[in-house]
Chain A
């Protein structure tokens, strides 16, 4: 019997090529979209889930109140790890991971800038990063030991055995390779290429026991069966025990299972606003796209029911029961789903690289994993059942008498499941169109916001190697050769905040004020280099005013906080220095373009905290020429290090990446949804034209015009799109209003976006339906009437 079903299914596919193509293509696109999203979701939920001890690994977090709000963050004092091992019997081990840093690796003539971490020697005993060579218990014991990833070892030593080889770091210290790690998987929060032991940091004076210095990540491995709630109770009072000034400062352990998706807090409580919201959102989108593709299948299958009705009648006459017919039709839909899945897998393989680029991840398919293929098989069965169930019940319920005597006709009921399904499809598509437009508006809105400085021709270079030592020489040569017009040493890029803090003192300050200020340092000339606008006072000028080493520039928001009527000359105490204000600048965007600017303090040379040079390139020459010449100068004064500059405008553009991705993804899925829905609409229009052929013939004989008939046939579909719009508009408004709440600086939702989306949908529907409508309207009525 199965063979018979298979034969008829295949022959039907071949005979009705247009319907088969629409059905399979729609289903394939839907399945491919859903597969891609599911792959991404799978990648997201798998983050750091490969560690063998994952159920016992936690990250230590702080919870403390600032400006009346509880804030949570995951950098802790360096002293915490050893304290926890000492004070808490539940802790098996604790390890510290310092900020990632980029270092120059030298092996013979080879020079590479590599990113890695300094960690406690037990790091590899807690986390599962397998070693190809070396013992996890001892690889980081020696102060000058280093562990490399497989790829880095190959880059540095080629095919030679790297174990025991010497690497020079930053032209300062030599390290011996004691272990080789398998390359890190993509789905981990750690991104290091090498590991150095904490003992090296200690020897370099980088360790401390200061409970106020929250500068490192602390990871804790609890003993089996240790109670998290009991240890968290103790963590609450840990900091006040050692740091008498912070009586309300709490700490807590945060489990590995929640790091990737849930680590977003509002007023001290996990707010469900982390990446999990995107996982949920795109999970819903995947389900809807697949559902829409399945709806197409249902609609086209039921629309073609008259073609299959005779077969159903005959099968019933010769003894088929309803259940066997249901089985036959579900089998057919599973066959279609299988064919669609084959195409979908090909689509996924082809567009996965582009998809990865779009989402900024490295999602992969484990082709050798049986579970992947079982999942694909399950996907086919679920899709087949979802798509085939309604048509199967619909078709198998035909009365053989009616279909075999030719009296079978499906009427145009006011509300049919098919119409409901079309409305569902278009509602979803219109929601996505509106969302795409509003996301785009929000991005444009933020992009159009004045940054407060001039990004053009502005580049920066970190003070690597000898640059700090030769800074004046480099600056002089860059200026004298006409490459740059202005150069300033600063603490951090203009697009990032590397330091912030509270506790500054100034005249008239409210003792309860715990305002957090951005800190930034420059040694003079930032106003000219970056094009900052001074509303009061001046920039630092050490040559003219030697006391400017302790000068301070504040932004307008800081001025509002400090409430100075005449700020120039006022003293602000910070980090033990009395800074005198010499200027007030207009606010500029240091961090998020979606947030209001925060108060900012720019301190002078006394801060002794400079990490990069900001260079305003001369616009009289091409950027390419300027950079080529600049490279020669950097090579001359800093020969060991590569010339690695960054454009400020490119770094600023990265602030829009997340939103751009959401916008592009929403746009892509909106387009796909519309396309799949239109495939379905086209199929339905074809069916409608066939079904109403007699009516069209009679109307034409009675004098109806082609345009009148076209309008008549299109009207029913347009009604459905209008209903979809009415349903979609409030849903889209609600979703976007919620989304925009995350941004302080946000666009107002405009009514015309909805009108435009509605008109766009109607236009697309008209174009889709009109081909079949016009074809039906221009057909010769004699033929259709004779066929009756």
Chain B
């Protein structure tokens, strides 16, 4: 599903040049659950942003669904992103001014789906995530665990092929964290490919494979199955 080869990302300021990804190469197959680990500043989030088509690589190849997309324009990337990729963030990133229902509905709006169809899909996913009773609440009225469930609901509402999770349990206590990890595992079992950046060895054990990064390079790859 994803194949990156010699991927490079360099951040430049006036004085300093920081290599975030240094000729990184690996492959993720459809249906896999991959955890990416490493110390702060090793390039995990940069990698996730590139995989999520939120950022451009400076070099190398990025093939997504057999399509070379490394140098696609922003609008083309947005097209691929909204149909194929769901995101889960550490800090939930829900829009404060929208209710739970409206937050989850948002990706479907950008897919120009009909209102009746959207309602059906959103309610279905809210039930699945067990936050249906909170559908008219605003994010600030929810606990952290509930907010992350809503974030996951939003990520999966358009049935993406790939979910990218950036430290999804980072802001949660262990009980809520485990619940979220179980949700991701369930989604993976239903066929969704998941790539998760995490600091937590515990969370990483939910995955099939761990890729460890250091200074923008892969230093180790462990298979857990």
Instruction: Enumerate chain A interface residues (CB-CB to B < 8 A).
Output: 1, 4, 7-8, 11-12, 15, 310-311, 313-324, 399-401, 404-406
B95 and A314 contacting across the interface, CB-CB below 8 Å: yes
Tell me, rounded to whole Å, the shortest Cβ–Cβ distance linking A315 to chain B.
7
Contacts of A323 in B (CB 8 A): 75
The A interface is mostly helix, strand or loop, or mixed, namely: helix
Roughly how many angstroms separate A324 CA and B105 CA in the complex, as a whole number?
16
Whether the pair B89, A404 counts as a contact (CB closer than 8 A) is: yes
Known A-B contacts A310-B95, A324-B110; the reply to A318 vs B89 at CB < 8 A is no
Contacts of B111 in A (CB 8 A): 319
In chain B, residues 77-134, which have Cβ atoms closer than 8 Å to a Cβ of chain A?
78-79, 81-83, 87, 89, 91, 93-95, 97-98, 102, 105-107, 109-112
B180-216 CB mask vs A (1 if < 8 Å, else 0) is 0000000000000000000000000000000000000
Report the Cα distance A315→B52, complex, angstroms: 14
A8 in contact with B75 (CB, 8 Å) = no
Which residue of chain B has the shortest Cβ distance to A13 in the bound complex?
Answer: B97
Given A4-B102, A401-B55, A318 and B110 touching (CB < 8 A)?
yes
Cα–Cα distance between A313 and B105 once the two chains are bound (Å)? 16
Residue B154 at the A interface, CB < 8 A? Answer: yes
Bound complex: CA A771 to CA B26 (Å): 57
User: Contacts A316-B78, A401-B49 given; 15 further ones with Cβ under 8 A?
Assistant: A1-B112, A15-B97, A314-B106, A315-B106, A317-B52, A317-B81, A317-B93, A318-B107, A318-B154, A319-B78, A319-B107, A319-B110, A321-B74, A323-B75, A406-B91
Which chain A residues lie closer than 8 Å to B106 at the CB level? 4, 314-315, 318
The count of residues in chain B whose C-beta lies closer than 8 Å to any C-beta of chain A is 29
Q: Tell me which of A15, A311, A320 contacts B78 (CB under 8 A).
A: A320
Answer yes or no: B45 CB below 8 A from chain A CBs.
Answer: yes
Q: Which residues does chain A contribute within 8 Å of B102, judged by CB atoms?
A: 4, 7
- Nearest CB in chain B: distance from A127 CB, A: 60
CA distance A345 to B213 in the complex (A): 63
CA–CA, A405 and B109, complex, Å: 24
Taking a contact as CB atoms under 8 Å apart, the answer to whether A320 and B97 are in contact is no
- Give complex CA distance A8, B138 in Å: 12
How far is B102's CA from A4's CA once the two chains are assembled, in angstroms?
8
- Cβ contact within 8 Å between A8 and B55: no
- Which residue of chain A is the closest to B106 with respect to CB atoms? A318
Q: Give A684 Cβ to nearest chain B Cβ, in Å.
A: 23
* A317 engages B87 (CB within 8 Å): yes
Shortest beta-carbon distance from A333 to chain B in Å? 17
Complex CA–CA separation, A314 to B89 (angstroms): 10
* CA gap between A780 and B196 in the complex, in Å: 39
How near does chain B come to A8, taking the closest CB pair, in angstroms? 5
Question: Residue B54 at the A interface, CB < 8 A?
Answer: yes
Contact B110 A311 (CB under 8 A): no
Name the residue on B nearest A3 (C-beta).
Answer: B115
Given contacts A401-B54, A405-B45, contact A322 B75 (CB under 8 A): yes
Whether the Cβ atoms of A8 and B95 lie closer than 8 Å is: yes
Closest CB pairs A-B (n = 9)? A319-B82, A319-B110, A318-B107, A11-B97, A401-B49, A321-B78, A401-B54, A8-B97, A1-B109
In the complex, which residues of chain A have a beta carbon less than 8 angstroms from the beta carbon of B95?
A: 8, 310-311, 314-315
Q: Name the B residues within 8 Å of A322 (CB-CB).
A: 74-75
Specify which of A7, A311, A321, A405 is in contact with B75 (CB 8 Å cutoff).
A321
Q: Which residue of B54, B102, B105, B154 has the most chain A CB atoms within 10 A of its CB atom?
A: B54
How far is B138's CA from A12's CA once the two chains are assembled, in angstroms?
13
B88 → chain A closest CB, angstroms = 10
22 inter-chain pairs at a CB distance below 8 angstroms, sorted by A residue, are: A4-B105, A7-B97, A7-B102, A8-B97, A11-B97, A310-B95, A311-B97, A314-B94, A314-B106, A315-B95, A315-B110, A316-B78, A317-B81, A317-B87, A318-B82, A318-B110, A318-B154, A319-B79, A319-B82, A322-B74, A399-B54, A401-B49
CA distance A316 to B55 in the complex (A): 12
B78/A8 in contact, CB under 8 A:
no
Q: Which residues of chain B are within 8 angstroms of A8 by Cβ–Cβ distance? A: 95, 97-98
How far is A40 from B94 in the complex, measured between Cα atoms in Å?
A: 50
Residues in A neighbouring B97, C-beta threshold 8 A: 7-8, 11-12, 15, 311
Instruction: Kindly provide the distance from the CB of B51 to the nearest chain A CB, expressed in whole angstroms.
Output: 12
**For B52, what are the chain A residues with a Cβ–Cβ distance below 8 Å?**
317
Interface contact B110-A310, CB-CB below 8 Å? no
Is B93 a contact of A313 with CB atoms below 8 Å?
Answer: yes
B49 neighbours in A (Cβ, 8 Å):
401
B223 to A: closest C-beta gap in Å = 29
User: Which residue on B lies nearest to A311, using beta carbons?
Assistant: B95
- Residues of B within 8 Å of A399, CB to CB, are 54-55
